[in-house]
Structures are given as structure tokens and as C-alpha cells.
Chain A
Amino acid sequence: MKKFRLKPAKSFSRVVACLHWWGLLSVLIGSASGATLLIEHFDEIVPDYSPVGSAPGWHVLGLQGGVVRDFTTAFSGYIYDYPALSSSYGGARSGPGQWSKGFLTLIGNQVSNTLVWVETGTNFQGREISGFSYYSRNESTASSTRMVVRVAGRWYASTSSDHDAGIPADWVLNTLRFTPAAGAWLSLDTNNLTLGRESDQPLAPAEISAVGFICFPSAGSRMRLDEFRVVGGPVWDSKFSVGSWIWADQRIDRVTCRFWKLIQIPGDFRIKRVRLRMTAHDTFRAFLDGVEFGRGSDWGRLTEYDVTRVLSPGPHVLAVEAFNEYEWAGLVAGIEVESTDGRLIQIPTDDTWRIVPEEVKGWQTAEQPGENWPAARILFPFCDAPGMPESPKVDSSLPLQPVLIRFWQRGWFEMTLLTFCVVVAGICLRLLAQVALQAKEQQILHRERARIARDIHDDLGAVVTQLVLQGETAQSELADEPEARARFKRVSDTGRRLVQALNEVVWMVNSQRDSLRDFENYVCRYAENFLRASGIRCRLDVEGEIPEAAFDLARRRNLFLATKEALNNAAKHAGATEVLLKLQVEKDAVKVTIEDNGRGFDPAVPNRARNGLTNMTQRMAEVGGQCSIVSHPGAGCRVELAAQVFHLSSPRRTWWRRRTEHPNEGNQTGNQL
């Protein structure tokens, strides 16, 4: 009787399980601590077993009568002759690595436990094996299967499975995954066997020469196995430029699965072409950096997207929402980035893709995966998909064009602009309102000034004139009373001075005289009258035509008072016999020059009597004008006064005020004065 032993791989405590070729009753499953069993002496119990790894292709092998038999051909058809290993129907293998399309039914016959494995060979058609999986279903009473693997010439088996309870159950997926991670020689997670190794050296795929299972069906029991898959080799399918089919661990009908992948294109990569192919069983929606760019619903056809224009060097998020109607589920995609210098980046669908839990929001643009986002599971290579047509079609879509949204087309900019416009409009309205108010105030002021001028003239002026005349008549009537006469004369003279002063006030206040021409007239007449009264010759020199420009009250008044001061100085202090009053208008300034032929003075020598000069300077400074005094002892004195005139602000030209609102039309409204 031949037997082979199973021992816990980790503890190495020997728990020996004897497998009798003909009638082995029980299998001792590894003690509590052991998760994986080493099947020892397999070579002993299968003495004539010779590896067939050198032969190309898959080989389905089984033990029969202590002899390893190749069932590859038999399995392709119906297997009747072997009671413990049969297939309910034969399915054609559709590609390397796939052993499917039919149930393998193991019927317990009391006397045989069955070891079935797939001889992967050391050269697995040039592919590396990364895993192995199959579905199992216990259809009757207790039966169990163990996954087996041959690494470096030794066999290992998993220690437990869902079927151990011996209760008929639904299909269970059993997987074996080889991880390059060190520190885990073999570990078992219910039905999932993970194979690593204790040493730091990663497991070389070539060391795995066979994968399979041992089945321990009890008598009369029936165990079904289906969809054997060896996941292996490069995940990149170079023929179709896609990766493997991937999905979440759980496959539930009518459920959406969301995939997330960060694509890193190096900064120095000058992109020549980026091609993205994908399809899903059954439908998908794809997003690149949060923007949906494609949908598909025919899993048998690959859709190719030219994303050259939308992918730039740097990180990008590819997000896919796939929906499974029924049957198997999978997503497959491949991104090929070509640089101008011939470099190539291939990004396949593999277990670096993440499954995004349902509740996560904004996953389509998330640049980091969440901690609880599990890795996708690699199902099988692209061509191994069940029912995959011999030559899947590739549909090309038009190259994706980046919708260039300029910054002024963006919401924030438009909002800012809108806000800005509203603010500006508000400010403008406010200013306009202020201007209007000011205009109104100005207008009221003008009217008031005109009224005050008229009142002074009509009432005060008339009364004082009467007073003067009364005084004069009284003088004429008091011919023989010289003292009284002299008094009345003083009254009259004072009255006259009062009239003079009133005239000045009226002229200044009167808004109808706010023009440069009125200023010219007034100053000239004042000079004429004043100098004549002082017995000084007056020379006037008005250069050219004085424009009708606006000359506001403050400027007019200060320039006039300064001129008056200068004339006064010439008459009182200089002892002049002739004074020249010169008026010039240059561009925006009016210049008044008062030149006398008097005795002059030294401006450097301070003199209390010359307060007038300081006054003049101050007056001109008040309205932003200038005052310069040139004098030398014995050489007369020249005072130059300059003030600004605003042609543009001429009230007569201001568009928003109506002409009739302007009392400044001296000719037409002269009767008001």
C-alpha cells in the first residue's frame, strides 16, 4: 500500500496522512496549527510519474491505479472510463491556461481519492504563473478538496476548505496566489492559498511546476469543479494591448464595481501617442481625471480611445464604473504611452487597480486611493475570457480632444468678473449719483449766489446810492454851513466807498460772472478806476482774445484780491507814476502781471509793511496758483500772478446740465443783475 504524507509546512510537526490508492479511508488533516500541508513522498507513491513540463501546452494529469495518466485529451471529450474523474460534458479549451467550459465531476467511489493537477511545466508557454483558481461545489455529503501545488519539486496542499463541513453548498472559489512577498511561505485564507516563501528571495515562477487539487469525495458523493484557471504570465496581452480581466473579490449579479487607477507619466516623457483600450463585462463608463470620455456595452469588442491630446506628463486618474448583469464579471483595459524617443509605458489592468467602495464620493478625481480600497483581483488573461470570440474586434473612437476651457470661461472667473462688474457698476452709479447731486448742489449754489448778488444790488445798493445822493443834495442845500457840508461830504464819500465795496462783493458773489472774460473786464476796470483815483497812469495790456472759460469763485476772488493788493502796493508804497496791468492766457493758466515804475525794494530785506506781499503769495497758494515778485531798489516792481483755468470743466460745456440751468449766460440774463 502506498501512501503519502501531509505535514504542516510551518510547524513541521509530522502529521501523516495516508492516502491509499485503493481504499484509503481517511485523510488526516493538518493539526490545528498547520495551514498548509506538505505532501511528502509523492514521488514515491507515484513512482512512474515523470514531469511532462517540457511538453508544450497544458496537461491535465491524474493518478489512476498508481499511475499518472494524462487526461488532457480525455478531458477534452467525455470521460467515461474513469469513474472517479469525469466530465459531465466536454468543453473545448479556448486558450492556454484555461480549463473550463465544462464541469469536472468527481464521483466518490470509496476507494479512490483523486489527485488532479495541471502540469504547468517550467516553461509555461513563456508566461509566469501568478495564480490558480477554480470553483468547486459540493453536491452531496461531505467531500473536500485541497488545493495542491508543486514547488521546487515538492508538493503542497491547503488544509481546509469550505466544503469540509460536508454540507452541500453553492459554488466556492478557490484561489491560489503566488506573491513575491517574503515571509509567507504558504498561507491559507479559507479557500485562498497564498504562496510565498520563507526566505527573502522571491519565489521564482519557474519553481512552480504544477498546480491542482486533491479531492476526497466520500462514497457516492459528488463534487463538481469548474472554471479552472491558471492566472499567469505577463499580464500584458501584446496582441491586443490590454491587461488581464479584473474584478472585485466578490462577484454579484447586477452590481456596479468601481475601479480606480493612478497613471503616472514621467515628467521627461514627451508623449507621442497614448492609446487606451478597454471593455467590460457587461458595461462600463470611463472617466479620465473626472471627465467621462467613454462608454461601452459589448464586452467582446475592445474600444480604443486615442487620448494623446488629453494626457500630459504627470499623474492622471483613470476611473471606470463597470456593471455586471450576470454570469462572470470583468474589466479589461490597457494603456499604451509612446514617447517621441521610442520609450513605451504599458499600463494593464492588474491587481494595482483598486476597487472603490460604494460610499466613496469624488473617487473619479481622487489622487490617492483610500486605505480601505481593496486591490482588484486578476481573473484571467484577456483571451481567456469565457466565450471570448476567436478574434475580438477593436473599435477605434475619434481622438479625444481636450475641451480647452480658458480661464475666462471658468466659473470662478466669470463669478469674479460678474462681481467685479456689479461692484464697478455700483461704484459708477454712486459716483453718478454724487455727480448729479453735486451738479444739483452747484446749480443751487449758482442760483443762490445770483440771488444774493441781486439782493445786494437791488436792496443794499439802491439804498446806499440813495444815501449818497441824499448826502450830495444836503451838501448843495447847506452852501453856507461849511462844517455840516463837510460832514455830509464825508457821509457821501463813505457811501460811495460802500457802493464800491458792494460792487466788489456783488461781482464776486455773482455766479453769472464766473468766467475768465468777466474777470478780465472787472480787473481792468478796477485798475483803471483805482489808479485814476490815485493819480497814476494806467496801462492795460490784454493779450489776444480772452476765452470764455470757467473761472470759479475761489480762483477769481483770490487772483483779484492779489491783483488789488499789488495795485495798492504800487499806489501806496512804490510811489509809481505808471502801472502796467498785463493779462495773458496760456493754455490752462491765466497770468496777471502788475508792473510799476516806482522806487522798488529789495525782497530779501524783511519789512513789516510788506505783509501784503505775503498775503498775495498766500492767496495764490490757496488756489494752487503762483506768485512771483521781482523788484530791485530803484527799478520798480513786477508782480506775476498765475492761476489755473479749467477749459474742460467749463460749466457751459458740461453735457449733463441743461443750458437753461445755466445762469452763466451773461448776455441773456443781464436783467437779473
Chain B
Amino acid sequence: MSKLSEKKLNVAAVRESLVRVAMVEDEREIRESWVKLLGTFPDFTCVCTCASGEEAIKQLPGVRPQIVLMDIFLPRMSGIECTARLKELLPDTQILILTSVADDELVFMALQAGADGYLLKSTQPAELQGALQDLLRGGAPMTGAVARRVVRYFRQRDQPKESGLGLSAREEEVLILLSKGYGNKEIAGQIGLSVDTVSTYLKQIYKKLHVHSRTEAVMRYTQSKIS
């Protein structure tokens, strides 16, 4: 009995130490596949699966996952809207967008809505694992194309830099290097910073993006859905 309870405790302890991942995906088979794949990753555990955005908003605040894997195309409430709402409920939760087709515009919208990164659904499991770990470490992955979109976005907004809402010169520099295809390490080497600092800059950029545009993105998205 005690052995059994010890084992249970152990499991609980292990579970405590594992990264709690939730999944929002309407396709059952894909959902199950992901769960199985996550099960093979040593440090991750799937704590909740939702088939729709509404369900996610209802359940996830109680579950408090560290990472949410979010599908973009969901029935009714879209993944982008769901991301925006979840970010309000769980500001510390990292949301990773999963999409079957890489579309920068959609990705950018998701990022605006508060997503912290995105991945293709067909990504190899090892890559997914790496991305999840990156996310936990605070790295904010961003491709060149998206970086360029972000720069454009901030330029268009024409935010005064003094207000703290616009991009700082350094942040813009990082983004521009990113948009030229440089990796984080290379950027760090180029401008004489540590890789972590570069990551921090990126995080900062994400935050600014979110502050500006989360509600805006949601509104735009819901509006376009109506029309």
C-alpha cells in the first residue's frame, strides 16, 4: 500500500517537474498523435486536450498549463482569437501556434494576438521538442520573414520611441538582422551581445507587439469573420 502510494507520490513528483502542456486541436486523430508524441518527450506531459477554443477558455485557466499548442483553424472561435483570450486569462502561459500551412500573414496575426511562436504541424518530433524547450528558456523564435513583417508593423504604427511602445534602435537592429537570415547566435556575434540578450530583446519585441495589438488583432479577426 505504502509502496503503491509512494509510487503515486513519485509519479506526482515527476509530474510536478514535467512541463505541463495543453493542446487545442479539433481533429481527433491529430490530437491523439500529438499526445502520443508528447508522451515520448522526456520532460513534457500533456495535461489537457481541447477540441475547440471555447473549451480551452473554459478548462485551461483551471489547469494552468505552461505551454499551449494551438491550432489556427478551429471551428467557431479561431486559434488566433483563442490565443488572445487565453493570454488575458493566463499571461504567463506560452502559446505555440501550430499550423499545417506556413503563412506569414496568419503567423503575424497570431503573434500579434499574443502567441509566442509558431510551428508547422508536420515538424519532426525532435524539432518540436527543441522548440518547446527553447520556448521555456525564454527564446522567442522568429523567422526572417516574420521579423520583416514586425519591423514593417512598427514602422507603420509610427510609434514615438520615447513612449516606450515603439521599437528601440537595438530591437530594430536585431529584427533587421533576423530578417536578413541571421540566427540568434550570429546576431549576438554581430552586435556584440550575448545570445541571451538577443533572446531578451526578442521577448521584449513580442511583448510590445502584444501590448499594441492583441485586442486589435482579435477585433480585426472577429470582424473579418463576420464579414
Is residue A670 contacting chain B, with contact meaning CB distance below 8 A?
yes
CB-defined contacts of B39 to chain A, threshold 8 Å: 476
CB of B125 within 8 A of CB of A521, answer no
Is residue B5 contacting chain A, with contact meaning CB distance below 8 A?
no
CB-defined contacts of A581 to chain B, threshold 8 Å: 181
Instruction: In the complex, identify which listed stretch (B57-65, B102-110, B201-209) lies at the interface while the others stay far away.
Output: B102-110
Closest to A502 in B: B101
Q: Which of B102, B106, B125 contacts A476, CB < 8 Å?
A: B125
Bound form: Cα–Cα A229–B121 in Å: 129
CB of B181 within 8 A of CB of A465, answer no
Is residue A294 contacting chain B, with contact meaning CB distance below 8 A?
no
Is residue A206 contacting chain B, with contact meaning CB distance below 8 A?
no
Q: Which of B109, B122, B149, B223 contacts A521, CB < 8 Å?
A: B149
Closest to B98 in A: A465
Bound form: Cα–Cα A668–B121 in Å: 23
For residues 429 through 486 of chain A, which have their beta carbon under 8 Å from a beta carbon of chain B? 457-458, 461-462, 464-466, 468-470, 472-473, 476-477
CB of B144 within 8 A of CB of A496, answer no
Bound form: Cα–Cα A465–B27 in Å: 11
CB of A465 within 8 A of CB of B121, answer yes
Is residue A351 contacting chain B, with contact meaning CB distance below 8 A?
no
Looking at the assembled complex, report how far the CB atom of B81 sits from the nearest CB atom of chain A, in whole angstroms.
10
Instruction: In the complex, identify which listed stretch (A38-46, A89-97, A262-270, A537-545) lies at the interface while the others stay far away.
Output: A537-545
Interface code A569-596, partner B: CB below 8 Å = 1, 0 otherwise?
0000000000001000000000000000
Is residue A525 contacting chain B, with contact meaning CB distance below 8 A?
yes
Q: A539-B180, A540-B180 are in contact. Are A670 and B145 (CB under 8 A)?
A: no
Bound form: Cα–Cα A499–B30 in Å: 15
Is residue B224 contacting chain A, with contact meaning CB distance below 8 A?
yes
Is residue B163 contacting chain A, with contact meaning CB distance below 8 A?
no
* In the complex, number of A-B residue pairs with CB atoms less than 8 Å apart: 122
Interface code A539-568, partner B: CB below 8 Å = 1, 0 otherwise?
111100100000000000000000000000
Interface of B is mostly: helix
Bound form: Cα–Cα A524–B106 in Å: 16
Q: How many residues of A contact B (CB 8 A)?
A: 47
Is residue B154 contacting chain A, with contact meaning CB distance below 8 A?
no
Looking at the assembled complex, report how far the CB atom of A131 sits from the nearest CB atom of chain B, in whole angstroms.
106
Q: A525-B145, A669-B224, A671-B78 are in contact. Are A472 and B125 (CB under 8 A)?
A: yes
For residues 489 through 528 of chain A, which have their beta carbon under 8 Å from a beta carbon of chain B? 492, 495-496, 499-500, 502-503, 506-507, 518, 520-522, 524-525, 527-528
Bound form: Cα–Cα A537–B144 in Å: 13
CB of B102 within 8 A of CB of A525, answer yes
Looking at the assembled complex, report how far the CB atom of A240 sits from the nearest CB atom of chain B, in whole angstroms.
96
Interface size class of B (residues with CB under 8 A): 35 or more
Interface code B194-226, partner A: CB below 8 Å = 1, 0 otherwise?
000000000000000000000000001101110
Q: A473-B36, A670-B105 are in contact. Are A466 and B30 (CB under 8 A)?
A: yes
For residues 80 through 119 of chain B, which have their beta carbon under 8 Å from a beta carbon of chain A? 100-106, 109
Interface of A is mostly: helix
Q: A525-B143, A667-B109 are in contact. Are A469 and B180 (CB under 8 A)?
A: no
Is residue B29 contacting chain A, with contact meaning CB distance below 8 A?
yes
Is residue A666 contacting chain B, with contact meaning CB distance below 8 A?
yes
CB-defined contacts of B224 to chain A, threshold 8 Å: 667-671
Is residue A188 contacting chain B, with contact meaning CB distance below 8 A?
no
Looking at the assembled complex, report how far the CB atom of B208 sits from the nearest CB atom of chain A, in whole angstroms.
19
Looking at the assembled complex, report how far the CB atom of A505 sits from the nearest CB atom of chain B, in whole angstroms.
10
CB-defined contacts of B2 to chain A, threshold 8 Å: none
Interface code A385-424, partner B: CB below 8 Å = 1, 0 otherwise?
0000000000000000000000000000000000000000
CB-defined contacts of A667 to chain B, threshold 8 Å: 105, 109, 220, 224
Q: Which of A492, A521, A671, A673 contacts B221, CB < 8 Å?
A: A671
Looking at the assembled complex, report how far the CB atom of A170 sits from the nearest CB atom of chain B, in whole angstroms.
107
Closest to A510 in B: B103
CB-defined contacts of B143 to chain A, threshold 8 Å: 525, 528
CB-defined contacts of B104 to chain A, threshold 8 Å: 521-522, 525
Which 4 pairs of residues, A with B, have the shortest CB-CB distance?
A469-B33, A668-B224, A473-B36, A476-B40
Excluding A476-B125, A496-B124, A673-B103, 11 further A-B contacts by CB distance (< 8 Å) are A492-B124, A500-B122, A507-B103, A522-B145, A538-B144, A542-B148, A542-B179, A667-B105, A670-B106, A671-B73, A671-B221
List 7 A-B pairs, Cβ < 8 Å: A461-B100, A468-B121, A469-B37, A499-B100, A537-B181, A667-B224, A668-B224
- Which A positions have Cβ atoms within 8 angstroms of B? 457-458, 461-462, 464-466, 468-470, 472-473, 476-477, 492, 495-496, 499-500, 502-503, 506-507, 518, 520-522, 524-525, 527-528, 537-542, 545, 581, 660, 666-671, 673
- Which B positions have Cβ atoms within 8 angstroms of A? 27, 29-30, 32-34, 36-37, 39-40, 73, 78, 100-106, 109, 120-122, 124-125, 143-145, 148-149, 152, 179-182, 220-221, 223-225, 227
